[in-house]
Amino acid sequence: MDALVAQLQMQYRNYTVSLYQQGFLDDQFTELKKLQDDASPDFVAEVLSLFFEDCVKLIGNMARALDQTGTVDFSQVGASVHQLKGSSSSVGAKRVKGLCVTFKEYCEANNYEGCVRCLQQVDIEYKALQTKLQDMFNLEKQIIQAGGKVPQVDIN
C-alpha cells in the first residue's frame, strides 16, 4: 500500500512539475493551491471548472464576432479576448494568457487572419490544459484512494 502511494506521489510530483516546465501553468496556479485546504478541498478544481466554462463562452463570442459577413467589429472581439486574458491570468493558465496577448494585438491591428489563427490556437490550448489538469486531478484522487496524502509540490 505504502509503495503504491509513494509511487503515485512521485508520479504526481513529476507530472505537476512538467506542467510548469512546459509552460501550461505559472505561479498563479501555485497561489490557487495555497488557498485550498481541508475545509475547501476542491477549490482549485472549482475555479478551473469556472475558467473552462468561461473559455467556452468567450471563445463562442469571439467566433461569432469574427463570423460577421461584412465588417468585423474588432473591438467586440477584443473585449472578449481581454476578459479571457484576465481569467486565464487569474488561474495561472500561462499558455492561454500568452495567446490572448498576441490575440489582443491582432484585434487592435484589425488583422482578420491573425485573429482567426489565434482563435483556433486558443481553442486548442484551453482544451489541452483541461486534459492535462484532468489527469493531474485523477492522480490526486488515486493517491487519496490508496490512503495517501497529495504532496505539496515545490516548483522552484
Partner 1 sequence: MADVMRPEKLDMSNDTSSLGSPELLHVLAVDDSIVDRKFIERLLRVSSCKVTVVDSATRALQYLGLDGNHSSVGFEDLKINLIMTDYSMPGMTGYELMKKIKESSAFREIPVVIMSSENILPRIDRCLEEGAEDFLLKPVKLADVKRLRDSLLKADEMAFKNIMHKRELQANDIYSQLKRAKI
Interface residue list for partner 1 (CB under 8 A)? 28, 31-32, 34-35, 37, 40, 43, 46-47, 50-51, 53-54, 82-83, 85-87, 89-91
Look up residue 79 and give its three cell numbers: 473585449
Minimum distance from residue 51 beta carbon to partner 1 (Å) = 5
> Which residues are within 8 A (CB) of 107 and not within 5 positions of it... i.e. 6 or more apart?
74, 75, 77, 78, 81, 115
43 or 137, CB closer to partner 1?
Answer: 43
Minimum distance from residue 3 beta carbon to partner 1 (Å) = 35
18 or 49, CB closer to partner 1?
Answer: 49
**Residue 130: which of 59, 36, 39 has the closest Cα?**
59
Distance, CA of 62 to CA of 80 (rounded, Å): 6
Length of the chain: 156
82 or 132, CB closer to partner 1?
Answer: 82
Minimum distance from residue 28 beta carbon to partner 1 (Å) = 5
Minimum distance from residue 74 beta carbon to partner 1 (Å) = 18
Distance, CA of 113 to CA of 57 (rounded, Å): 21
